[in-house]
């Protein structure tokens, strides 16, 4: 036996050595080719590699002159191949172009919005979705996507919360890494591989007041502890590119921020890819009031470490003269060109510059649609299910009323940022419910034309449909245009007259199952009291209908968990689980309720805590929350040892029993608290999670291994440290759990 183990070890070591050697040899070969090419390039041709423009039309002369490096938003393969042929055969050095596109959550087969994908808490599934998206995008000649968006945010007013993975660095990192690996595959040169882009670097989701592009002011240690970890994970996952963000951070716009783009990204993290600006974010340094003019913007952005300029023309206009006058060293230009050419060689672009769509499977094929359906199913979060009104049993239903425009909104169910999704390919919930139940059982009454309507004329029909039914499926929420870039809301309640419609339908006394389509958490706690069940669907993509019907009628138990805290009211924002304790934390005992305060009451000292007298201190639903059609019982939460040394790996375990009658998946979550630190620490932080399938009546032993190094933070001197001391941990079904495990790090 020992000999066998020894042999296996030798073989593994040999394999590892070989693969490392192979990678090193590949890199050396690429370095040689890049350096040889740079030696031949003129300054104009070098600067040409730093330029990205929109669309292929009219670009021939630029490409022939070697003055263009990448084209975004050209998806006509013929036009791409024609322009690429100019680059390969008519330019002096034959350097290929990279064709790029925002492939954010699917290409032709649209997946749930990223916030919905985060709600699956299933990185493996998300990775599959990214790989499928890459295959479809590649069939249209897209070699580079501006995704994943890994901006942590704690502000649902911000429209782009829809495009990221929520409030937590660990969940966001897991989803970002899965997406990068899904896009890029094993090799960037793979036939189905697409270059990823970690964006928007950095802290774009911390925009003041949830206003897009707005000011970001975060202390460096919070920046490093909360907003940067997903980007560091992206570097470790070998994301080939980063995108500089629009926003400023503490007064320095990200696109001209040397601390971010050079010190952190390259010096500290050893990032080897290249950085592209956001759309005209180089020129916007002038608008920020950080650059005097476009020439100054070119200088500040390029010398900060932004290699490629998207859309604006500062680099092509001013870099050459700044090199010739010695203001910018040509070696700096060479470094940026080297990073870009290295990626182009790794992508295999020099060997395979063209696209033949026949090399790829048909888009929107059954396999792709099934995968989209599977991801959408796991993205659905069951927030309420009074008296187990769900799952519905088709045979027990004489009539079902489907109400609300979002039940049959093939465009809106696709969500924000779907350049290449087409509503013609959508299956809506109404269609799926009719297919499943039979049209004769379904009464559809939109009640309104769109979610924002202030027009009640459709209410009567909707109420009548409810009266004729045994159960009401009420589709509420936001159209897709109400979230996404520059679509922020100061009031995140249900738009229009939807809450009034809920009240009117509730008067019929029929059970109401609400399905919410939205790009963010919404606040409707009061009217939700009139709902028997709430299934939060985000914007589920092409296969929204079948996925929602699958869960509503019990083909699959919901397993989604909230990737973001749901506030009770917009006034509570920012509200998130990983908050600090403060010196006077609120509790149910100390919450002094506004309408119970006696007249002329005196300011009490004992009850003074960090609550609101009107909305208390808790959210409507906590981070990580989501119900199931079964019930899970947690027991034996424990840690292997009571005392650890720095450098150890801490082992946790828990027993989870499916105590119900339905097979289901559960997301087991591990939270840890560092009780005392040289800086105050959050009351809990997600350290790890595992999604497990447990058959009805079965149990699962779930283990977690956490290196002590994961429990650190950036101290006042910006050193990442794990400090010795006492810790608490808890393992459960969402973040609102007791930390009942104690351990110490010596
Ligand atoms: C934008 C977005 C960015 C996107 C880029 C190209 O304005 O901020 O996320 O990738 O333009 O479309």
Same structural domain, 488 and 378: yes
For residue 311, the ligand 1 atom closest to its alpha carbon is 6
Tell me how far apart the alpha carbons of residues 162 and 223 are, in angstroms, rounded to a whole number. Answer: 21
For atom 7 of ligand 1, which residue has the closest CA? 279
User: For residue 311, how far is its CA from the centre of ligand 1 (angstroms)?
Assistant: 11
269 CB-near residues (< 8 Å, 6+ apart): 232, 235
Give residue for tokens 């790090």: 745
Where does a domain end: 486, 521, 552?
Answer: 552
Question: Is there a cis peptide before residue 391, judged by omega within 30 degrees of 0?
Answer: yes
- Could you read off the pLDDT of 488-529 as tens digits, one per residue? 999 999 999 999 999 999 999 999 999 999 999 999 999 999
* Per-residue pLDDT, 348: 98
Q: Is the pLDDT of residue 97 over 80?
A: yes
- Could you read off the pLDDT of 388-440 as tens digits, one per residue? 999 999 999 999 999 999 999 999 999 999 999 999 999 999 999 999 999 99
- 3-state SS, residue 82: helix
Check pocket membership of 279 for ligand 1, CB cut-off 6 A.
yes
Same structural domain, 401 and 523: yes
User: For residue 132, how far is its CA from the centre of ligand 1 (angstroms)?
Assistant: 22
Residue 58 inside a domain? The answer is no
Same structural domain, 400 and 548: yes
Partners of 689 in beta bridges: 669
Residue 601 pLDDT class (50, 70, 90 cuts): confident
Residue 22 pLDDT class (50, 70, 90 cuts): confident
Q: Residue 390: how many CB atoms within 10 A of its CB? A: 24
Check pocket membership of 459 for ligand 1, CB cut-off 6 A.
no
Q: Which of 99, 483, 485 has most ligand 1 atoms within 8 Å of its beta carbon, as the pocket-test mutant? A: 485
Q: Which of 101, 103, 146, 416 has most ligand 1 atoms within 8 Å of its beta carbon, as the pocket-test mutant? A: 146
For atom 10 of ligand 1, which residue has the closest CA? 146
Question: Is there a cis peptide before residue 45, judged by omega within 30 degrees of 0?
Answer: no
Check pocket membership of 102 for ligand 1, CB cut-off 6 A.
yes
User: For residue 416, how far is its CA from the centre of ligand 1 (angstroms)?
Assistant: 12
Same structural domain, 522 and 421: yes
User: In the structure encoding, which two tokens stand for residue 493, read together?
Assistant: 């309640």
Residue 5 pLDDT class (50, 70, 90 cuts): low
Same structural domain, 417 and 543: yes
Residue 681 inside a domain? The answer is yes
* Per-residue pLDDT, 492: 98
Check pocket membership of 146 for ligand 1, CB cut-off 6 A.
yes
- Could you read off the pLDDT of 210-257 as tens digits, one per residue? 999 999 999 999 999 999 999 999 999 999 999 999 999 999 999 999
What separation in angstroms does the CA of 575 have from each of 272, 314, 616?
A: 36, 40, 12
Tell me how far apart the alpha carbons of residues 721 and 395 are, in angstroms, rounded to a whole number. Answer: 60
Tell me how far apart the alpha carbons of residues 346 and 7 are, in angstroms, rounded to a whole number. Answer: 34
Tell me how far apart the alpha carbons of residues 693 and 281 are, in angstroms, rounded to a whole number. Answer: 45
Per the annotation, the verdict on 449 as an active-site residue is: no
Same structural domain, 535 and 398: yes
Same structural domain, 516 and 399: yes
Mean pLDDT value across residues 319-335: 98
Residue 335 inside a domain? The answer is no
Residue 488 inside a domain? The answer is yes
Give residue for tokens 């393969």: 77
Residue 43 inside a domain? The answer is no
Residue 223 inside a domain? The answer is no
Check pocket membership of 163 for ligand 1, CB cut-off 6 A.
no
* Per-residue pLDDT, 21: 77
Q: What's the whole-number average pLDDT of the chain?
A: 97
- Could you read off the pLDDT of 689-744 as tens digits, one per residue? 999 999 999 999 999 999 999 999 999 999 999 999 999 999 999 999 999 999 99
User: For residue 298, how far is its CA from the centre of ligand 1 (angstroms)?
Assistant: 19
Catalytic one of 278, 532, 550, 688: 278
Chain centre distance of CA 520: 12
Percent of the chain at pLDDT > 90 equals 95
Same structural domain, 522 and 651: no
Residue 726 inside a domain? The answer is yes
For 159-173, b where at least 16 C-beta lie within 10 A, e where not — what string? bbbbbbbbbbbbbbb
Residue 523 inside a domain? The answer is yes
Q: First CA to last CA across the chain, in angstroms?
A: 38
Mean pLDDT value across residues 455-468: 98
Where does a domain end: 526, 552, 578?
Answer: 552
For atom 12 of ligand 1, which residue has the closest CA? 102
Question: Is there a cis peptide before residue 738, judged by omega within 30 degrees of 0?
Answer: no
What separation in angstroms does the CA of 443 have from each of 141, 456, 469, 471, 511?
A: 44, 19, 8, 11, 15
Measured at the alpha carbon of residue 216, what is the angle toward residues 616 and 104, in degrees to the nearest 5? 95
Where does a domain end: 552, 584, 609?
Answer: 552
Q: Is the pLDDT of residue 20 over 80?
A: no
User: In the structure encoding, which two tokens stand for residue 169, read together?
Assistant: 């660095």
Same structural domain, 386 and 488: yes
Same structural domain, 642 and 527: no
User: For residue 177, how far is its CA from the centre of ligand 1 (angstroms)?
Assistant: 20
Measured at the alpha carbon of residue 676, what is the angle toward residues 672 and 677, in degrees to the nearest 5? 100
What is the total count of domains within the chain? 2
Domain extent, residue 495, equals 369-552
Q: What are phi and psi of 15, to 5 degrees?
A: -65, -45
Q: For 543-663, where are the E strands, in sequence order?
A: 632-639, 643-644, 649-658
CATH of the domain at 473: 3.40.50.1700
- Could you read off the pLDDT of 564-592 as tens digits, one per residue? 999 999 999 999 999 999 999 999 999 98
Q: For 127-251, where are the E strands, in sequence order?
A: 144-145, 197-201, 241-244, 248-249
Q: Is the pLDDT of residue 13 over 90?
A: no
Mean pLDDT value across residues 524-547: 98
Q: What is the pTM (predicted TM-score) of this model?
A: 0.97
């Amino acid at each position: 036996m020992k000999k066998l183990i020894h042999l296996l070890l030798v073989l593994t070591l040999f394999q590892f050595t070989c693969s490392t050697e192979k990678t090193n040899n590949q890199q050396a070969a690429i370095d040689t080719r890049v350096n040889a090419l740079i030696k031949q390039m003129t300054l104009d041709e070098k600067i040409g590699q730093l330029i990205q423009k929109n669309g292929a039309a009219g670009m021939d002369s630029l490409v022939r002159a070697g003055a263009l490096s990448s084209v975004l938003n050209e998806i006509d393969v013929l036009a791409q191949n024609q322009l690429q042929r100019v680059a390969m055969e008519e330019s002096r050095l034959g350097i290929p172009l990279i064709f790029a596109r925002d492939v954010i959550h699917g290409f032709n087969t649209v997946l749930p919005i990223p916030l919905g994908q985060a709600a699956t808490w299933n990185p493996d599934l998300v990775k599959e979705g990214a790989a499928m998206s890459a295959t479809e995008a590649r069939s249209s000649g897209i070699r580079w996507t501006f995704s994943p968006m890994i901006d942590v945010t704690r502000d649902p007013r911000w429209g782009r919360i829809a495009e990221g993975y929520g409030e937590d660095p660990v969940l966001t990192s897991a989803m970002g890494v899965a997406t990068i690996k899904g896009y890029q595959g094993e090799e960037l040169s793979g036939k189905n591989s697409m270059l990823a882009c970690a964006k928007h670097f950095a802290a774009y989701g911390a925009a003041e007041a949830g206003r897009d592009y707005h000011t970001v002011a975060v202390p460096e240690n919070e920046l490093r502890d909360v907003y940067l970890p997903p980007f560091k994970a992206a570097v470790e996952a070998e994301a080939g590119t980063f995108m500089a963000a629009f926003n400023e951070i503490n007064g320095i716009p990200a696109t001209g921020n040397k601390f971010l783009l050079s010190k952190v990204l390259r010096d500290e993290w050893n990032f080897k890819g290249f950085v592209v600006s956001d759309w005209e974010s180089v020129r916007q340094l002038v608008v920020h009031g950080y650059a005097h003019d476009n020439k100054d913007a070119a200088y500040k952005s390029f010398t900060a470490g932004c290699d490629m300029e998207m859309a604006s023309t500062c680099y092509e206009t001013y870099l050459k003269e700044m090199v010739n006058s010695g203001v910018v060293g040509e070696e700096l230009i060479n470094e940026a060109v080297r990073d870009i050419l290295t990626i182009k060689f790794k992508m295999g672009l020099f060997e395979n510059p063209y696209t033949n769509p026949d090399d790829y499977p048909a888009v929107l094929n059954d396999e792709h649609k099934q995968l989209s359906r599977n991801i959408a199913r796991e993205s659905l979060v069951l927030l309420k299910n009074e008296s187990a009104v769900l799952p519905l049993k088709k045979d027990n239903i004489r009539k079902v009323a489907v109400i609300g425009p979002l039940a049959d909104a093939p465009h809106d169910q696709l969500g924000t940022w779907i350049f290449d999704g087409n509503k013609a390919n959508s299956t809506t919930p109404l269609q799926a419910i009719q297919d499943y139940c039979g049209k004769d059982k379904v009464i559809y009454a939109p009640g309104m034309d769109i979610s924002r309507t202030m027009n009640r004329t459709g209410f009567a029909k909707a109420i009548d449909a409810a009266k004729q039914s045994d159960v009401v499926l009420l589709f509420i929420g936001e159209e897709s245009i109400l979230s996404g870039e520059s679509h922020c809301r100061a009031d995140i309640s249900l738009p229009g007259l939807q809450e009034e419609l809920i009240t009117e339908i509730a008067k019929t006394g029929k059970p109401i199952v609400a399905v919410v389509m939205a790009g963010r958490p919404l606040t409707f706690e009061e009217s939700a009291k009139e709902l028997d069940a709430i299934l939060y669907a985000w914007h589920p993509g092409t296969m929204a209908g079948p996925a929602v019907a699958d869960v509503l009628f019990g083909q699959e138990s919901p397993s989604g968990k909230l990737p973001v805290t749901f506030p009770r009211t917009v006034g509570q924002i920012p509200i998130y689980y990983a908050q600090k304790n403060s010196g006077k934390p609120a509790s149910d005992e100390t919450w002094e309720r506004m309408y119970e305060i006696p007249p002329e009451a005196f300011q009490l000292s004992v009850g003074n805590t960090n609550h609101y007298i009107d909305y208390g201190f808790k959210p409507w639903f906590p981070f990580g929350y989501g119900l199931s059609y079964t019930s899970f019982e947690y027991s034996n939460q424990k840690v292997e040892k009571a005392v650890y040394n720095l450098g150890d790996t801490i082992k946790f375990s828990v027993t989870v029993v499916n105590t119900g009658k339905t097979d289901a998946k559960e997301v087991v979550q591990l939270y840890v608290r560092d009780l005392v630190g040289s800086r105050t620490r959050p009351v809990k932080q997600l350290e790890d999670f595992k999604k497990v399938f447990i058959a009805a009546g079965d149990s699962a032993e779930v283990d977690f291994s956490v290196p002590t190094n994961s429990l650190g933070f950036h101290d006042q001197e910006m050193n990442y440290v794990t400090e010795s001391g006492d810790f608490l941990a808890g393992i459960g079904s969402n973040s609102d759990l007791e930390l009942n495990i104690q351990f110490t790090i010596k």
